[in-house]
Structure 1
Amino acid sequence: MSEGPINLNKARKARAKALKRRQADENAVAFGRPKAQKRKEQAEAERARRDLDGHKRET
């Protein structure tokens, strides 16, 4: 059984805080990279795209 009554206002605020923390963690992963790393990943993606285009057959 539960310990007692639940303060719904605190529960709502805790849920909103957890949601904001999760969003901040996702943003840190997406945008918290050094410029050199972003350029390297962009160059790798471009190289992969060119390699894939190079393997296409001409019709």
Structure 2
Amino acid sequence: MYIGYLTYVILICWVTGGLILLTDVKAYKNASLKKEHKVSKFLGWVNISIGFGLITTNFIYLHFMW
């Protein structure tokens, strides 16, 4: 039986990335803050990408390394 915290970390990455994209990006765009808009957009997608990267890494580890 496998009980771990990785699924929670992935979920947190996805939720925080989505919240950044839904709230901060729109707020900075409406306020015409270009640098903050770009940085928050970048960080939101990085968070979501980290979640997918963790899923991929976990799959490779469980099926090919272990």
Range of TM-score over shorter length: 0.3 to 0.5
Greater RCO, CA 8 A, separation 6+: 2
Larger Rg: 1
More helix by share: 2
